[in-house]
Amino acid sequence: MNNDFPRILSLLRSEKHLSQKKAAEDLGIAQALLSHYEKGKRECGLDFLIRAADYYNVSTDYLLGRSPVSSGLFLTENDIPESTSGGKADGFSFSSSLAKKLIISSIDVIYSLLNRIKNKKLTHSISTILSLSIYKSFRLVYKQGGTKNDKNLFMVNEEAAFRAATAGELFAEGAALTALKERTDSDNAVAPIEITTASLESEFNKQAAALLNLIRNSENTIKKYE
How confident is the model over 31-48, as pLDDT tens digits?
Answer: 999 999 999 999 999 999
Average pLDDT over residues 7-12: 93
The predicted-structure confidence for 68-83, as pLDDT tens digits, reads as follows 888 887 766 566 545 5
More confident residue, 204 or 74: 204
Report how far residue 200's alpha carbon sits from residue 206's, in angstroms, rounded to the nearest whole number: 10
| Cβ(158)–Cβ(151) below 8 Å | yes
Task: Say if residue 143's pLDDT is above 60.
Answer: yes
Task: Say if residue 197's pLDDT is above 90.
Answer: no
CA 147 to chain centre: 21
CA atoms 114, 172, 206, 218: torsion sign:
negative
Task: Say if residue 169's pLDDT is above 50.
Answer: yes
Judged by average pLDDT, the poorest of 52-56, 96-100, 154-158, 200-204 is 96-100
| Cβ(117)–Cβ(189) below 8 Å | no
Task: Say if residue 17's pLDDT is above 60.
Answer: yes
Per-residue b or e along 62-96, where b marks 16 or more CB atoms closer than 10 Å to that residue's CB: bbbbebeebebeeeeeeeeeeeeeeeeeeeeeeee
Judged by average pLDDT, the poorest of 48-62, 132-146, 185-199 is 185-199
DSSP symbol at 179: H
pLDDT mean across residues, the chain? 88
Task: Say if residue 185's pLDDT is above 80.
Answer: no
| Cβ(6)–Cβ(39) below 8 Å | yes
What does the pLDDT read at residue 19?
Answer: 97
Report how far residue 128's alpha carbon sits from residue 134's, in angstroms, rounded to the nearest whole number: 10
DSSP element (H, E) containing 93: helix 93-117
- With 0-12 / 13-18 / 19 or more C-beta atoms within 10 angstroms meaning exposed / middle / buried, residue 207 is buried
What does the pLDDT read at residue 89?
Answer: 43
Average pLDDT over residues 95-121: 90
Which residues have a Cβ under 8 Å from the Cβ of 28 and sit 6 or more positions away? 51
Going by C-alpha positions, the residue among 211, 215, 221 that lies closest to residue 102 is: 211
| pLDDT grade for 88, boundaries at 50, 70 and 90 | very low
One-letter amino acid for residue 139 of the chain: R
Average pLDDT over residues 6-16: 93
